[in-house]
């Protein structure tokens, strides 16, 4: 059995990891940490885990975590980088769900996250954990940087076109909507139900932290600089990411549909819907699936790709477990055969 530790077990992504790993046939969750709730039983805070997780939250302790085979960081930005180097030195695999190791440029990271990076030398070694792009590298990784939720939906949506040089990379647009759980489990006026209910807004239009991550990924796919406009929105729902992606192409819709179906034919967590479909966030809620469809309005050169995921699963915890399965040579979908919740 794989001994797994979770640092930051009380946030939404931490609890989602617990939900998935509790039923994983090859994983024993050995440590769950929380500075706020140390000493409290996990199932007293989350009764849905009664009978599955028989642990109490503990303070993060290097010696205890070093006994694990893999440690997941479901923590705020700036936490994983304080412990990753020591854990790696003990032979522990590190899977970080925060943004600490996603960017390869330490100065760029500091500019967007407002602090100096504690271990910039590790950035080159971190493998970006998008299996549909870096599957073979993840298999041999010691440190995995899980993609953000917005970047996952956007990169998967644009991927086949950029790989094949079929988009004008000077005018890409990502218009993306997120449920409020994407902001994390904290008390903020902006995410109160009375503030978000019956409302809809864009935010961080001048620059969101996920912009450099998305741009970095798209440029690696395209092999050239790209000009991306990324506008995130907050919607009055709990889970879900809906990315509406725009680009200009001279290829026909039939050819692009065939390209997407071929590119993702062997990807168990990407589902290309038939032409004319409109993916809905509720149809992936609770699952590790990305559903997408391609449109070419009025047959013009503007292509529209619709890409939806659950931000807490494929956009976070599910993708992290996917990476863990690859690292330990397990079936990639082990523990992740989760059907969407409906309604």
Active site residue 149: yes
pLDDT at position 182 is 82
What six digits make up the tokens of 54? 């028989």
What integer best gives the mean pLDDT of the chain? Answer: 96
Tell whether 268 and 185 lie within a shared domain.
Answer: yes
Residue ranges making up the domain that contains 16: 2-125
The domain total for the chain is: 2
Tell whether 171 and 109 lie within a shared domain.
Answer: no
Can you tell me the distance from the alpha carbon of 263 to that of 260, in angstroms, rounded to the nearest whole number? Answer: 5
Question: Which CATH number do you get for residue 167?
Answer: 3.30.360.10
Q: What is the full DSSP assignment across 261-314?
A: HHHTTT-TTEEEPPTT----GGGTTTSS-EEEEEE-GGG-SEEEEEEEE-TTII
Quickly list H helices, 4-148: 12-21, 42-45, 62-65, 84-89, 106-113, 131-139
Domain presence at residue 343: no
Tell whether 111 and 190 lie within a shared domain.
Answer: no
Tell whether 95 and 215 lie within a shared domain.
Answer: no
| Strand ranges for 167-222 from DSSP E | 172-178, 201-202
Q: Is the pLDDT of residue 190 over 80?
A: no
Tell whether 160 and 241 lie within a shared domain.
Answer: yes
pLDDT at position 193 is 76
Tell whether 111 and 157 lie within a shared domain.
Answer: no
Kindly report the backbone phi and psi dihedral angles of residue 123, in degrees, each rounded to the nearest multiple of 5, phi listed first: -60, -40
Can you tell me the distance from the alpha carbon of 154 to that of 180, in angstroms, rounded to the nearest whole number? Answer: 18
Segment 213-267, tens digit of pLDDT: 999 999 999 999 999 999 999 999 999 999 999 999 999 999 999 999 999 999 9
Question: Which CATH number do you get for residue 65?
Answer: 3.40.50.720
Tell whether 192 and 98 lie within a shared domain.
Answer: no
Of 68, 149, 171, 290, catalytic: 149
Q: Are strands 127-128 and 143-145 parallel, antiparallel or unpaired?
A: parallel
Q: What is the mean pLDDT of residues 207-217?
A: 97
Segment 50-109, tens digit of pLDDT: 999 999 999 999 999 999 999 999 999 999 999 999 999 999 999 999 999 999 999 999
Tell whether 297 and 246 lie within a shared domain.
Answer: yes
Residue 86 CB neighbours (<10 A) = 15
Can you tell me the distance from the alpha carbon of 54 to that of 245, in angstroms, rounded to the nearest whole number? Answer: 44
């Amino acid at each position: 059995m794989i001994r797994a530790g979770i640092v930051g077990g009380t946030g939404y992504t931490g609890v989602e990891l617990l939900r998935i790993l509790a039923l994983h046939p090859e994983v024993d969750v050995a440590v769950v940490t929380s500075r706020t709730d140390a000493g409290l039983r996990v199932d007293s805070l989350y009764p849905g885990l009664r009978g599955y997780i028989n642990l109490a939250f503990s303070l993060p302790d290097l010696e205890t975590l070093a006994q694990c085979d893999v440690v997941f960081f479901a923590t705020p930005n700036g936490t994983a980088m304080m412990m990753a180097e020591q854990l790696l030195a003990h032979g522990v695999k590190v899977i970080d769900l925060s943004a600490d190791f996603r960017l390869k440029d330490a100065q760029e990271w500091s500019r967007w996250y407002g602090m100096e990076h504690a271990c910039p030398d590790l950035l080159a070694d971190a493998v970006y954990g998008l299996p549909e792009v870096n599957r073979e590298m993840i298999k041999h990784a010691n440190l995995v940087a899980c993609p953000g939720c917005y970047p996952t939906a956007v990169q998967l949506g644009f991927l086949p076109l950029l790989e094949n040089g079929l988009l004008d990379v000077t005018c890409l647009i990502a218009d993306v909507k997120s449920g409020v759980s994407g902001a994390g489990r904290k008390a903020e006026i902006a995410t109160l139900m009375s503030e978000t209910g019956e409302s809809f807004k864009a935010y961080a239009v001048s620059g969101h932290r996920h912009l450099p991550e998305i741009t970095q990924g798209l440029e690696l796919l395209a092999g050239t600089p790209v000009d991306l406009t990324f506008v995130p929105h907050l919607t009055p729902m709990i889970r879900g990411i809906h990315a509406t992606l725009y680009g200009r192409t001279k290829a026909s819709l039939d050819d692009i549909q065939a390209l997407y179906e071929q590119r993702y034919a062997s990807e168990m967590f990407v589902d290309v819907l038939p032409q004319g479909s409109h993916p809905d966030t509720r149809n992936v809620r609770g699952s590790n699936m990305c559903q997408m469809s391609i449109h070419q309005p009025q047959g013009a050169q503007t292509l529209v790709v619709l890409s939806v995921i659950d931000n807490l699963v494929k956009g976070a915890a599910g993708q992290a477990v996917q990476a863990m399965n690859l690292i330990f040579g397990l079936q990639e979908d082990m523990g992740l055969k989760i059907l969407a919740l409906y309604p």
